[in-house]
Amino acid sequence: MNRTKIAERLVFLAKELMNAGEVPEAFKEQWKKNKKSAASWDSPYKSKLDLDTTRRDMEHRSIRVLSATLSLGPNAKLIKESLLTYSEGTSHKFHFFALYNDNGRWKSGNAYGRIGGEPKAMMIGTGDEATARGAYDRKLRAKLAKGYQEA
């Protein structure tokens, strides 16, 4: 489905929700101001507190998913972490990188997904410290080169 059809479908769904009375008044006002660009709606719920809460939530979810994916023991220590975000148009993604020392076995992992969604996780390096740290740094540099920003 191309972007034009997706935008048309979103406009149709927004009208249906407004007619059903399921859209907050702030969105209705924004809709009246700018009917052509549904993607430019500003959320009335955005604030610094909301953004900080979202960041903490992404970090906690990512750590939980990574712990299971990396099979971390109860004594594993988080040595280094980085949260990167990418926003362009309607695309809002994140990558969370973590480096762990699990009783002498070093593990690095990456959790990623859409901001606000449930992350997916993968192991990116394991073994000695140099191998795990190298995989962590290499993947981090690659995402920064693609345009991700440190959060």
Q: Are residues 54 and 109 in the same domain?
A: yes
**Whether 18 and 61 share a structural domain:** no
How confident is the model at residue 27, as a pLDDT? 61
Question: pLDDT (tens digit, 9 = 90+) per residue, 1-49?
Answer: 566 667 677 677 667 766 666 666 656 666 565 554 444 444 443 444 4
Q: How far apart are CA 62 and CA 76, in angstroms?
A: 15
**Rounded CA gap, 96 and 106, in Å?**
17
Residues 35 and 55 in one domain: no
Same domain, 139 and 101: yes
* Domain housing 118: 48-150
Strand residue runs (E) in the chain: 77-88, 91-102, 105-114, 120-127, 149-150
Clarify whether residues 24 and 55 are in a common domain.
Answer: no
Does residue 28 sit in the same domain as residue 61? no
Distance set, CA 58 to CA 3, 14, 39, 104, 149 (Å): 28, 28, 23, 27, 15
What lies within 8 Å, CB to CB, of 35 at 6+ separation is none
Q: What pLDDT sits at residue 41? A: 44
The total domain count for the chain is 2
Q: Are residues 59 and 19 in the same domain?
A: no
